[in-house]
Structure 1
């Protein structure tokens, strides 16, 4: 029963991740990080496939090993959250919902920018200085 639970989570997160790969504004890497985490709990073959994926594998391995996030991903996430926050302000949602969602996105953005960057981002940064 436990394995079925973890594998179900993996499938849900992988599907959401691949939807995010084709749908602008929806994250991909976050869902694939969650999928890799769930796969490590009950689906070793899928975990290996995700970590060795040609496009997303290095990002997932960097996250798992060092908790790093590429600068490009930080910028993209911040821009998308900013756009979402502005759109949220224009909706008819209750004021407290607007405050809560925008505050949550701000906290996530701050946390994201506090994460270390991948070695390639650091090399680019050092070569500019």
Structure 2
């Protein structure tokens, strides 16, 4: 079963990395999932993820409080708003903009 958790953790890190550069793919949930999987498969990878300068604090906050910091939420909301503004400025297809807005509304209702 450890190998399944390890592969799931590695896949989650890969998806989270993609989410850092792709506007419709979230990063944080995949990194939280990776930490969960690595805790069951690889203490070394779990520790590496917790010490990661980019994602470590958010993961530790989640594990301790089951919440993301106010600063993290603010940064997330600003990034979502910026991606929407960029889409509007670049005259992206209105259907894509609608999906972005609907996705943002869904994410904001979960905060």
Q: Which has the larger radius of gyration?
A: 1
- Given the superposition, is the C-alpha separation of residues 42 and 93 from structure 1 closer, same or farther in structure 2, using an over 3 Å criterion? farther
Name structure 2 gaps, 5 residues minimum. none
1:49 deviates by 3.1
Equivalenced residues, count: 106
- Given the superposition, is the C-alpha separation of residues 54 and 88 from structure 1 closer, same or farther in structure 2, using an over 3 Å criterion? closer
CA distance in 2, matches of 1:86, 1:27: 18
1:30 deviates by 4.1
Name structure 1 gaps, 5 residues minimum. 113-129
> 1:85, 1:105 within 8 Å by CA — same for their partners in 2?
no
TM-score by length of 1: 0.59
- Given the superposition, is the C-alpha separation of residues 18 and 88 from structure 1 closer, same or farther in structure 2, using an over 3 Å criterion? closer
Root-mean-square deviation over aligned CA pairs: 3.1
TM-score by length of 2: 0.66
Summarize deviations over 1:16-74 as a string: whole Å, max 9, x none.
55563xx5x786544322210222343343223323x0634343122012112122211
CA distance in 1, matches of 2:14, 2:99: 27
1:65 corresponds to which residue? 64
